[in-house]
Copies of this chain bind each other. A is one copy, B any other.
Amino acid sequence: MTEEDVPSPTAAVLLIGDELLSGRTQDSNLAYIAKFLATYGIDVCEARMVRDREEEIAAALNVLRQHYTYVFTTGGIGPTHDDITTDAVGRAFGVPVDYHPEALALLAPRYKPGEFNDMRRRMARIPEGATLIRNSVSTAPGFQIANVFVLAGVPMIMRAMLEDVGPRLARGRVVISQTISAQIGEGRIAGALAQVQREHPAVIIGSYPAFAESGPRVQLVVRGRAGEAVERATSAIEAALRQDGISSTRIRD
């Protein structure tokens, strides 16, 4: 196979927590993970949000880990009763969960005598066969089991854990993108855009409308793994816009 034929690694993100589905908490982890993985040439192909229910977490995880190269979960690995992700992962893999000596050794020194209580010790429970993921913010580790990375839900901690995950990931060819902005409704150039897409099958062209007080706008995003193909399609869109008397600008993502 040539470099272009090698399939890039894929990923899914499983966001865990009642607070996401109630609208109480606005997730920001998905976008961060997606951008982080993009630098490795890994595409996030699907994301799911599930409640704090062991069977629902395990069921979603078992589908995703069989479909994608990697799965990243966020949330549910703290010390409280509603932190059930670790047990759900153990159930999904059919392995027992027990106190991990290294995790205990990391956590114990953080607490004053008598304060490392049973609930806090829960954070050292890790499914059999998993390796720890370092948490440089608040010590309590995440873990990796097979192709699944189990991360904290608090964004600052999740981001720190990703730094420890990065070196474990296979790399794909990075996606290159160009964005064109124009002050028109997308319907006006939809025909030309469809033709450019047909003529440039190596890229994916997305059209993202928005409405401002000054009127409709659109951002046209060209994405692909071959820089020359992205550039050719982007130029073709710009030429089509010019021909239609529409001025556009390239913007940096």
Q: Which of A99-127 contact B (CB under 8 A)?
A: 115, 117-120, 122-123
Stretch at the interface among A1-9, A22-30, A165-173: A22-30
A27, A43, A190 — most chain B CB neighbours (10 Å): A190
> Does the CB pair A18–B206 fall under 8 Å?
yes
The answer to whether A81 and B187 have CB atoms under 8 Å apart is: no
What's the least CB distance linking A115 to chain B, in Å?
Answer: 8
Do the beta carbons of A56 and B50 come within 8 Å of each other? no
Give A171 to B186 CA distance when docked, in angstroms. 37
Cβ-defined partner of A48 (8 Å) among B38, B48, B83: B48
Determine whether the beta carbon of A80 is less than 8 Å from that of B21.
no
Measured between alpha carbons, how far is A20 from B24 in the docked complex, in Å? 20
Determine the chain B residues whose CB is within 8 A of the CB of A209 once the complex forms. 78, 154
Q: Which residues of the other chain, B, contact A186 by a CB distance below 8 angstroms?
A: 78-80
B-contacting 9-mer, from A85-93, A141-149, A191-199 = A191-199
Q: Please tell me if the beta carbons of A117 and B32 are within 8 angstroms of each other in the complex.
A: no
Min distance, Cβ A213 to any Cβ of chain B, angstroms? 12
Closest 5 CB pairs of A and B: A119-B190, A23-B34, A23-B31, A81-B194, A80-B207
Chain A residues in the interface with B (C-beta under 8 A): 17-28, 30-35, 38, 43-52, 56, 78-83, 115, 117-120, 122-123, 137-138, 154, 156, 175, 186-188, 190-191, 193-194, 197, 204-211, 221, 223, 253
16 A-B pairs whose Cβ atoms sit less than 8 Å apart in the complex: A18-B204, A19-B206, A21-B30, A22-B44, A23-B30, A23-B38, A46-B49, A79-B190, A80-B186, A81-B193, A81-B194, A119-B194, A120-B187, A122-B190, A123-B187, A137-B211
